[in-house]
Structure 1
Amino acid sequence: MHPHHLAAAALVACATVAHAADPGIASYTVDASATLMTDVRTRGISDSLNKPGLRLSMLAAHESGLVALAELATVSKKQFLEGDSLGVTLAGGYRFGDPERWHFGVGLATEFFPGAKFDAPHGFDFGTFTPTDVQTSKYDSSFAVLEIGYGAIEGRVLNVISKSYRGADTGGVCGTMLALMADPTQGLACYARGDHGSRGSWLFDIDFKQPITPSTTLNLHAGYQKVANFSEANFSDWRIGITHKHWGFEWNVDAVGTNTRVRELYLAQDGTDLRATDNAKLVLSVAKHF
């Protein structure tokens, strides 16, 4: 199970477009961008198994405050099993208030990974000591989003309204712990709680952007995810980065990291090796806006 989330950035990016919209020139704006990254990270966790990737985004904002996002990103088939190596995010919402002072946003977002799914036992027979009830789970998730900001500070709260969050169900969480942890105690205790999804999970984010020069910005982020029914999957994340605009591109350097409770939930099978996706790392990226 690899919980991470792209929609946390959706309203932030949409806000930039919305705040830039000039009703005296046009009633809406559209911003398309392509970003090449040394690692595709979401909430501090790698989606690309620590390898380079590409993200394509299309943002639209209307002067009324309506905003929308469509995004494609490359992901690893070794994490999003049987998938097409793509993650898709769609988000829409409404923003209001003063961008220089208090401002707010509400919206809905969904992310899905075409073809990606996994089979895992959702039960455990403690009499015969064997896993039971194998079911197919997907990584797709949907969210309700609330944003509250003041000036350069942006805070977001996301609530999972889909059946599960990124495959965080009994099969994904309990099955992974039982299979990968040397001590089976936690995995068995997880199964003993019964079959559950993770609807009702909460994701919290706060971001701050401070211009250093006209072309350079300091970016700070902190986040926390509280996964319903599976506290083992709770974790916090952080990011410290610099964005510099030059030659028509945005150049980014970000130090990212996480504090996970059960690291086995963030390991991915790569051939005969298990690779961590939650390790601290320096991520480089370059973006072009069209």
Structure 2
Amino acid sequence: MIATRLMTSVPASLAAAILLAAPFSTAFAQEATATLEAPSQTSPHTFTANVSVVSDYRYRGISQTDRRPAIQGGFDYAHASGFYLGNWNSSISWLGDSDASVSAPIEMDFYGGFKNTFQLGGQDFNYDLGVLEYYYPGAYTATRPYTTELYAGIGWGPVFLKYSHAVTNLFGFADSKNSYYVDLSANVPLDVWGLTLNAHVGYQGVQHFSDASYADWKIGLTKDLGQGFSVAVAYIDTNAKQSVYTNTRGRYLGKSTAFVSLTKTF
């Protein structure tokens, strides 16, 4: 999971989308003990973990770390039925950058849902339905940025379209319930040097604050290094307004950037 948050600043609101270059997941299945009477069975339960170092934590195109590196990691459980649960975490600085009295250096995401495949017109499709909670443990003197989103996505081949809908205020924006994010992405294996082409375009709509709405886009490559390691490089940009997405240090958080990450999956 997947991925940078809208930022909130005082007085200018900066709120803290998937990072499209989300950490890869490597499943390790448990096998039942074989006997003479029955063959071994693969467990329906899958547990994975990942850890990444990134040059900048970009969420929906917006830097969460003042355009500086971050360390990230998470854990996932999946059932053969399609049900899944997970937790993903990252170092952040945007809350402290916005208000020096706030101590909240970590983002913790908790999510769960159901994903599966189906056929329509002889074509194979996949879908994903779930809920995601963004949690920021720490001390606050203003509105807490905790955010809950419901999401639904459908994919065909390497292309996936996802819609996320906030059922709470969005990352500290006042009266922003029912904000939304639309994400169109493609991850295309190139069959060259183990590379995958990553492309993404998204739009963040912020309810009752149109100046905070913006589009973001990304183009990049991911390389499988083997042994659970992968590296990703990308170009990320947005059209977010500088008047909204510039923090109290004077740094524009939606500025175009070259991005690189190293991920290890277990």
TM-score bracket relative to the smaller structure: 0.7 to 0.9
Which residue is equivalent to 1:73? Answer: 90
Which residue is equivalent to 1:243? Answer: 222
- Shift of residue 3, structure 1, vs aligned partner: 2.9
Which residue is equivalent to 1:253? Answer: 233
Identity %: 24
- Shift of residue 96, structure 1, vs aligned partner: 2.2
Which residue is equivalent to 1:132? Answer: none
Which residue is equivalent to 2:147? Answer: 141
Q: Deviations over 1:172-196 (max 9, x none)?
A: xxxxxxxxxxxxxxxxxxxxxxxxx
Counterpart code for 1:167: G
Which residue is equivalent to 2:212? Answer: 233
* Partners of 2:194 and 2:201 in 1: CA distance: 24
Q: Does 1:37 align with 2:54?
A: yes
State the secondary structure of the residue aligned to 1:168. coil
* Partners of 2:30 and 2:255 in 1: CA distance: 42
Conservation of the 8 A alpha-carbon contact between 1:113 and 1:140: yes
Which residue is equivalent to 2:15? Answer: 3
Q: Does 1:106 align with 2:129?
A: yes
- Shift of residue 9, structure 1, vs aligned partner: 6.5
Which residue is equivalent to 1:275? Answer: 251
Conservation of the 8 A alpha-carbon contact between 1:22 and 1:63: no
* Partners of 2:99 and 2:112 in 1: CA distance: 25
Q: Give the alignment partner of residue 208 of structure 1, picking from 186, 203, 213.
A: 186
Q: Does 1:96 align with 2:116?
A: yes
State the secondary structure of the residue aligned to 1:232. helix
Q: Does 1:83 align with 2:110?
A: no
- Comparing 51-60 with 74-83, greater Cα deviation is found at 74-83
TM-score by length of 1: 0.75
State the secondary structure of the residue aligned to 1:78. helix
Alignment of 1:95-244 (within 5 A): 95-98=115-118, 101-115=124-138, 117-118=140-141, 136-162=142-168, 164-169=169-174, 197-213=175-191, 215-244=194-223
- CA separation of 1:146/1:60 partners in 2, compared to 1, >3 Å: closer, same or farther? same
- CA separation of 1:104/1:117 partners in 2, compared to 1, >3 Å: closer, same or farther? same
Structure 1 segments (4+ residues) deviating >6 Å: 20-23
Which residue is equivalent to 1:287? Answer: 263
Which residue is equivalent to 2:5? Answer: none
* Partners of 1:79 and 1:215 in 2: CA distance: 41
| Structure 1 residue runs without a partner (length 5+) | 119-135, 170-196
Counterpart code for 2:45: Y
State the secondary structure of the residue aligned to 1:57. strand
Conservation of the 8 A alpha-carbon contact between 2:23 and 2:263: no
Which residue is equivalent to 1:192? Answer: none
Q: Deviations over 1:201-237 (max 9, x none)?
A: 1110011011112621000011001111111110000
Conservation of the 8 A alpha-carbon contact between 2:130 and 2:151: yes
- Shift of residue 148, structure 1, vs aligned partner: 1.0
Conservation of the 8 A alpha-carbon contact between 2:23 and 2:52: no
* Partners of 1:32 and 1:251 in 2: CA distance: 16
Which residue is equivalent to 2:63? Answer: 46
* Partners of 2:157 and 2:26 in 1: CA distance: 15
Q: Does 1:63 align with 2:86?
A: no
Counterpart code for 1:51: R
* Partners of 2:208 and 2:116 in 1: CA distance: 34
Conservation of the 8 A alpha-carbon contact between 1:250 and 1:287: yes
TM-score by length of 2: 0.81
